[in-house]
Amino acid sequence: MIDIKQLRENPQRFIDGAAEKNISVDITTLIDLDEQRRLFTRQREEHRAEQKKISKEIGPQIGKLKGLLKSAGEEERAEFETTLAELEAKPVALKNEIQRLDDSVAQIESKWKALLLQIPQPADPDVPRGTSADDNVQLRTWNPKSYDLNQSFAENRGFEPKTHIELLHALELADFERGVKMSGTRHYMMTGNGMRLHQAMLRFAFDLITNEHGFTPMSVPVILREECMVGTGFFPTGREQAYHIEESQRGAGHDLFLAGTGEVGLMGMYADEILPGNKLPIKMATVSTCFRREAGAAGRDTAGLYRIHQFDKVEQVVICKADEAESRSWHKRMLSIVEELLQKLELPYRLLQCCTADLGSKNADMIDIECWMPGRGELDANERPQGDWGETHSASRLYDYQCRRLNTRYRDEEGNTVFAHSLNNTVLASPRILIPLIEMHQQKDGSVAVPACLQPYMNGLQVLEACTATTTA
């Protein structure tokens, strides 16, 4: 959520910010509603103050009269009733007026809140302006010494690559048909060594981030209340991307939603809290199952492990003090952890500075990491893919946008409560990361070499071969 005070002071910044992100929101209406809300709220407060004052003056008198009324005789009764009516006339008039203002404020406020939640965080000035993902800017690439990105896979390795789908089938690492049979399109199963590899990847990444980089290991709920989804900024805009468990239909008090990332649980845990300043920065990592409906992606990446409804992800999150320099430095550090990971896995990658159009509404800045996937991309004359980059990681910098929504604050040195800054980044998402892994490490004989860093997590296995697969027939 943006700071409404900043919007009042400089609406143009937010109008431009939304336009640059290609997000259409009615900021003029929000400003109108904001003014009305403040006006009516102030009037209501003035009336209430008056009411309280009167109440204190005549309240006890009313109470006393009502008491006397009970034991009063006929003549006295009439007199008391008249006095009572006189005393009550003014507060009753006030009460009606307050009731009217209450209704106005409630009505305005719900529209105001709904709009406010939709206003995107403007991108930072150093984020390239753009109209689509095509305008993202490549920052740098990395490749192992043995792989020249300017040459084709065949030129590098001396044989034509298979796609990950072909490799998964041949080595019996995954079963798409039965996954689809049970759950429908975009579902799959990892089988035998495929599952071992999947787990090895996750554990390797989790150990790296927690043991080597001091992030606190966490398990988090992946079934969450709507407040968490709104608080973390995934709702209302991304509502159709989340699976919705309509428990209220069965009589429960609230619905639940499946998280699309562990970030929801990690950030949600500190909602409505004021943290002691010395607790920051909070560095946490979780490994969790992620669920995405992939609404609007019909027809895209339908085959293989690229775009699926359920996967597992190691996620890193940092909650730090409200300091731009500190935020920016954490962003870099989180990215460098991923670079270390990918280098250990010997996977070529590139860093992409996302342009304004690709940021999403909550981010001030986002850097994606894409791995080279030889089995992806346009088909050549022989109907074989030419290879392409595929997104495997995404590092977001949000300033206080998320903490403001979540109401996560900390107490600074002067004792003030301040909204914290938050950042998040993928450490590793699997099975998507298995695409570059098995495509890049495939060998001429159709086997796949297991990178050294994963071997301890694979019972020491060095090569995945067809005959080593121990899966169901």
Which positions are annotated as active-site residues? 292, 307, 391, 394, 432
Q: Are 258 and 309 in contact (CB under 8 A)?
A: no
Tokens of 196: 């071992």
User: How far apart are CB 47 and RNA at their closest, in Å?
Assistant: 8
The two structure tokens encoding residue 7: 């919007």
Are 363 and 394 a contacting pair, CB within 8 Å? no
Six-digit token pair at 473? 């027939």
Please say which residue, 215 or 235, places its beta carbon nearer to RNA: 235
Q: Least distance from C-beta 284 to RNA, angstroms?
A: 21
> Least distance (Å) from RNA to the CB of residue 105?
10
Which pairs from 170-178 meet CB under 8 Å and 24+ separation?
Answer: 170/446, 170/466, 171/446, 171/447, 171/448, 171/464, 171/465, 171/466, 171/469, 172/466, 172/469, 172/471, 173/197, 173/434, 173/438, 173/464, 173/469, 174/305, 174/431, 175/471, 176/303, 176/304
3-state secondary structure of 411: strand
Task: Give min distance, CB of 323 to RNA, in A.
Answer: 13
How far apart are CB 35 and RNA at their closest, in Å? Answer: 10
Give 197 or 258: the residue with its C-beta nearer to RNA. 258
Amino acid making up residue 235: F
Dmax over Cα atoms in the chain, in whole Å?
A: 114
- Nearer Cβ to RNA, position 26 or 272? 272
CB of 308 within 8 A of CB of 291? no
51, 52, 62, 97 from 56: Cα distances, Å: 9, 6, 10, 19
**Nearest residue (CB) to RNA, 45 versus 324:** 45
Closest distance of CB 448 from RNA, Å: 33
CA 282, CA 59: separation in Å to the nearest integer? 52
Q: Which of 316, 315, 318, 372 is nearest to 349 (CA)?
A: 372
* Least distance from RNA to the Cβ atom of residue 66, Å: 6
Residues present in the chain in total: 473
Residue 268 or 390 having the CB closest to RNA: 268
For residue 261, CA distances in Å to 178, 331, 442 come to: 25, 18, 30
In the complex with RNA, the residue whose CB is nearer, 177 or 323, is 323
Q: How many CB atoms lie within 10 A of CB 435?
A: 25
Geometric angle at alpha carbon 406, from 269 and 425, rounded to 5°:
70
Which phi and psi (to 5°) does residue 245 adopt? -100, 105
| Helix (H) or strand (E) segment spanning residue 349 | strand 349-353
Structure tokens at 213: 């980089």
Which C-beta is closer to RNA: that of 160 or that of 273?
A: 273
3-state secondary structure of 394: strand
Closer by beta carbon to RNA, 63 or else 144: 63
Could you list the residues that contact RNA (CB under 7 A)? 4-5, 38, 41-42, 44-46, 48-49, 51-53, 55-56, 58-60, 62-63, 66, 88, 91-92, 94-95, 106, 252-254, 274, 409, 411, 414-417
Give the C-alpha separation, 367 to 355, whole Å: 9
Q: Which is nearer to RNA, 106 or 154 (CB)?
A: 106
Q: What is the nearest approach in angstroms of RNA to the Cβ of residue 313?
A: 22
Whole-number minimum distance, CB 259 to RNA, in Å? 17
Dihedral class, residue 242 (left if φ above 0, else alpha if ψ from -120 to 50, else beta): beta
Amino acid identity, position 160: E
